[in-house]
Chain A
Amino acid sequence: MTIRHHATDETLMRYAAGQLPAGPARVLAVHLAGCPCCRSRLGEFEAVGGALLEAMPPAPMAPDAFAAALRAIDAQPQPLATAPLARARTKPDAPVTLPGGAPLPAALRDCEIGPWRWIGLGVRASTVRLPEDRQARLTLLRVGPGRKLPEHGHVGTEFTQVISGSFSDGYGRYGPGDLSEMDQEIEHQPIVDPEGECICLAALEGSMRLNGFFGRLVQPFVRL
């Protein structure tokens, strides 16, 4: 899988800073899991965080804070001596494959995946709910081969990670593993490539401003 479309610096920095909302952060997590290049760039922005931390003028803790820390340490069970194995986050009843056989990205396995709904124009959508933020809304979209979506703009930035299949718009061709970030100044018209259905994961920044294209499609089906 050759990834051609990556996260912007701005998005990676906000993710590194812990400032990206939960929805877009998950879309990015799916991209990062498959993209060593963005993982390495993320490491650089985390190093920016480390540098900013070290440059902070110290704000003193309460005088007894260190003593309290030692007491807490003594009360703790013994720490693990070795690094942990990667924890499985799979819910036992979570579906492991998506329609068409593509695996559900590991970064979504602890999410609640809603039923697929037909929403017209050859598009089906499923709402993804996150355990860490019940207000956040992600959408899995399945768009039929060769489908042309109407040209549209966005109110907030739209993050779209391709899971299977591919689509093209004026900005390029997006295949599995690619991330498209469309900000509010940009208009585009995605066309799914004729070889097959395209499944992608989409989030709009600003959960209450669903007037982007996906928002207009999805809005009637999402309880806000």
Chain B
Amino acid sequence: MKDDGVPDGAELARLIDKVATERDRQAYARLYSYFAPRLNAFLRKSGLPPNTSEEIAQEVMLSVWRKASYFDPTRAGAATWIFTIARNLRIDHLRRIRTAAAGEDEQGEVETAPSGETLLLTAEREARVREALKTLSDEQATVLRLSFFSEKAHSEIARELGLPLGTVKSRVRLALGRLRVLLEGQS
């Protein structure tokens, strides 16, 4: 844990593991108090009304309890794993509204056996992504966020920002290109 009492990635992963193996409610309470309000904010930012964002944040946290044993720290960090649960539940929710048909829980591929090496690589990737995000310019960060939090195609984003489509597209490309270079450690 860091000095400020905010759990770091390793601590969060340990808490999920305690929930998985010991059904530890104290560990769960800490995960809940850290993630639920952030999920609530995240889902609201991605366009859900406040009541719905809270409902889905709650569903995500219940999935965290139920699926804790599926968490694989060699594949994704704790926050990334919880983000993907929220993403999938949000998609399911939107589809439930749009059509009566039930959504599918998109679980990823079964990967190769975990190893200490993949665990290290995953932790390193999470750190690299965070470093890379910090170096984006404001404009690049804005388009990245817009792409993440809005389902609008770039032509719509362009109209909204009052920018030519080409400008939006090139900013997205710049942001992603910059991210890619940093992620691949070429800079």
Which residues from chain A sit less than 8 Å from chain B, CB to CB? Answer: 9-10, 13-14, 16-19, 21-22, 29, 32-33, 39, 43-44, 46-54, 56-62, 65-66, 68-70, 72-73, 76, 79-84, 86-87, 89, 110, 131-135, 156-157, 184, 205-206
Chain A proximity of B62: nearest CB distance (Å): 6
| Bound form: Cα–Cα A101–B81 in Å | 38
> Are A49 and B80 touching (Cβ within 8 A)?
yes
| Bound form: Cα–Cα A184–B81 in Å | 34
> Are A79 and B66 touching (Cβ within 8 A)?
yes
Q: Does B82 contact A (CB under 8 A)?
A: yes
> Are A10 and B176 touching (Cβ within 8 A)?
yes
> Are B87 and A33 touching (Cβ within 8 A)?
no
- Provide the main secondary structure of the chain B interface: helix
**Could you say which residues of chain B place their CB within 8 Å of the CB of A206?**
153
Given A17-B147, A86-B110, decide whether A9 and B87 contact each other with a Cβ distance below 8 A.
no
> Are A50 and B79 touching (Cβ within 8 A)?
yes
Q: List 16 A-B contacts (CB under 8 A).
A: A33-B109, A48-B129, A50-B83, A51-B130, A51-B133, A52-B133, A57-B41, A58-B38, A79-B65, A86-B107, A110-B104, A132-B95, A132-B101, A133-B98, A135-B99, A206-B153
A53: which of B39, B62, B180 is its contact (CB, 8 Å)? B39
> Are B145 and A52 touching (Cβ within 8 A)?
yes
| Bound form: Cα–Cα A82–B70 in Å | 7
Tell me how many residue pairs across A and B have CB atoms closer than 8 Å: 176
| Bound form: Cα–Cα A60–B86 in Å | 17
Given A59-B40, A61-B58, decide whether A46 and B172 contact each other with a Cβ distance below 8 A.
no
Within 8 A of A (CB), among B62-105: 62, 65-70, 72, 75-84, 86-88, 90-91, 95, 98-99, 101-104
Closest to B149 in A: A17
Closest to B62 in A: A72
| Bound form: Cα–Cα A1–B41 in Å | 43
Interface residue total, chain B, C-beta cutoff 8 A: 76
> Are B87 and A49 touching (Cβ within 8 A)?
yes
> Are A47 and B129 touching (Cβ within 8 A)?
yes
> Are A48 and B32 touching (Cβ within 8 A)?
no
Given A9-B176, A156-B153, decide whether A134 and B82 contact each other with a Cβ distance below 8 A.
no
Most buried by B among A53, A66, A110, A157: A53
**Could you say which residues of chain A place their CB within 8 Å of the CB of B101?**
131-134
Closest to A12 in B: B176
Closest to A22 in B: B95
**Could you say which residues of chain B place their CB within 8 Å of the CB of A9?**
173, 176-177, 179-180
Given A68-B58, A69-B62, A72-B62, decide whether A44 and B41 contact each other with a Cβ distance below 8 A.
no
Chain A proximity of B18: nearest CB distance (Å): 14
> Are A46 and B65 touching (Cβ within 8 A)?
no
B84: which of A46, A65, A132, A205 is its contact (CB, 8 Å)? A46
Closest to A69 in B: B61
Closest to A29 in B: B106
Chain B proximity of A66: nearest CB distance (Å): 6
A61: which of B40, B62, B130, B180 is its contact (CB, 8 Å)? B40
